[in-house]
Amino acid sequence: MRADTDDKHIKLTYSTDGGSSYLSANYVFAGLSRDAGGSNLNPANGATSIIELTAERAGNASDESFNAELTLFNPSQSGFHKIIAYNCYYFTAASNQIRHLGSGSNTSSTSPVNAVKIEMETGNIAEGVLNFMELIRSKNRLLIFVNNNSLSAITTIPASISGGGLNLISTQTASSSSSLSFTSGIDSTYKEYIFKFYNIHPSATGDSTGFEFNVSTDSGSNYNVTKTTTFFNAYHYEDGNAAVLQYAGSADLAQGTGYQRLNNSAPNSDDSISGYLHIFDPSNTTFVKHFVGRFNGGFINSSIMATNNTHPAGYFNTTSAIDAVDFKFSSGNIDSGVIKLYGVS
C-alpha cells in the first residue's frame, strides 16, 4: 500500500453502525519496532483517537510502501472489547523501520464491530491491494495488504466471503541435501507466497549451525540480493530456570547480501525445525520486497535443552523481481525435512 503524500501515519478505526460513523476516541495500541541498522527493539504505544498501524510516519510516497497482516478477533461478539493484532513492514521518513508486533482495541465500546476503515493521516492511498478473508468459524477476519491497484475503505463486513486460500505450488523433500532451491513457480501469479517447513533436520548438529535462506533475481544463478533485516527470539529451558525474549543483533543484516538466519540448528538426533516464511509481492518491479517468518527449534546450553522461537523479518532492497529462493544450513546438509511452497489467492 502506498500513500500519495510523504511521511503520513496509516490509521485504523472501528464502526458499530455499518460505517455511518467511526469511533473517534479511546483507542489503545502497542507494538515493537526497529530502525534499519539498529540493535534494539523500540516500544511504540499510545492511547488516541485512532489505532496507528505505523509506529512512525511512513516515508517517501514515490517509491516506499507499507505491507501488513491484520487479524480482527470476534468482531460480532457483544460484551467484550474487540482486539486487532497486526504485523507491519514499512519505511519511515528519518530511517527505514520495521514493526513486528502490534495490537490495539477500543476501550469505550463492547458493541459488535461491523465496519473497519483504513486511511492515511492526510491525503489519499495512491495504490494497494486488499485481500479480505474470513477464517474458519467465521468469527475472525484476516486482512492482508499488498501493492498494486486502488484501495478504498472497508465499509461493511460481508456475511459470506468467496475465494481466497492457499494454493500448493510445489513440495521438496530433503535427503542429505546441500540445499533446497525453489527456482520455478515464483512469479506474478500471486501477491504473496508462503513457505511452510516441516521437521527440518541438519546433518551437522550443534548450536553454531544456522538454518538460513537467500533469494535470487536471476532464476537461481546467484543468491545474493541486498537485504536489511531484524531478528528476535524467545527461548525457554526445559528445566524452567531461564525464559528470555531478546533482540539478536548477531543474526540480522544491514544492507547485507549474505544468507539470512531463520533459526538455530536442531542439536539432537530427535530435534527439528518447523515454521513458515511469507514473501510479499516478489514480482513487483517498483518497490522493495518484504518478508516475515516464524520458526521453532531448539538449542542446548550446558547440557540443558531449550525451545527457541525466532522471528526473522525484513525487506529485499531491490526493485528487480525475485524469482528463486534457496534454503540451507550454514554448515553441513539438510539431512531430512519437507518444505512446501504456496501461493495466496
C-beta pairs of 236-245 under 8 Å, 24+ apart in sequence: 236/306, 236/307, 237/301, 237/304, 237/305, 237/306, 238/304, 238/305, 238/306, 238/307, 239/304, 241/304, 242/306
Least confident of 88-102, 227-241, 274-288, 290-304: 88-102
Q: Is residue 153 part of a domain?
A: no
Neighbours of 92 (CB within 10 A): 21
Query: Which of 146, 177, 210 is a domain's end point?
Result: 146
- Do residues 220 and 142 both lie within one domain? no
Share of the chain above pLDDT 70, in %: 79
Asked if 15 and 91 count as a contact pair (C-beta separation under 8 A), the reply is no
141 or 93: which leads in pLDDT: 93
251 by DSSP, 3-state: which?
Answer: helix
Tell me: the pLDDT tens digits for 143-177? Answer: 444 333 344 454 554 554 444 589 999 999 999 99
Burial of 96 per CB tally in 10 Å (0-12, 13-18, 19+): buried
Tell me: the pLDDT tens digits for 133-144? Answer: 655 443 344 444
Query: Which of 87, 112, 146 is a domain's end point?
Result: 146
Range of the domain at 132: 2-146
Least confident of 42-46, 122-126, 175-179, 198-202: 42-46
Average pLDDT score over residue span 240-255: 92
- Answer whether residue 208 shows pLDDT above 90: no
Nearby residues of 270 by Cβ (< 8 Å), 6 or more positions away: none
C-alpha cell at 275: 515454521
- Do residues 189 and 88 both lie within one domain? no
Task: Spell out a b/e string for 19-41, using b for 16 or more CB atoms within 10 Å of the CB, else e.
Answer: beebbeeebebebbbbbbebeeb
Asked if 195 and 322 count as a contact pair (C-beta separation under 8 A), the reply is no
- Do residues 65 and 103 both lie within one domain? yes
What's the pLDDT score for residue 22?
92
- Do residues 139 and 212 both lie within one domain? no
The CATH number linked to 203 is: 2.60.120
Q: Work out how many domains the chain is built from and give that number.
A: 2
Write out the DSSP string of 67-95. Answer: EEEEEEE-TT-SSSPPEEEEEEEE-BSSS
Rounded Cα distance, 72 and 92, in Å? 25
- Do residues 326 and 186 both lie within one domain? yes
- Answer whether residue 95 shows pLDDT above 70: no
What's the pLDDT score for residue 96?
62
Share of the chain above pLDDT 90, in %: 43
Q: Please give the helix or strand (H or E) that residue 109 lies within, else none.
A: none
- Do residues 172 and 242 both lie within one domain? yes
Write out the DSSP string of 145-191. Answer: EESSS---------SS-----EEEEEEEEEEEES-EEE-SS-STT-S
Q: Is residue 244 part of a domain?
A: yes
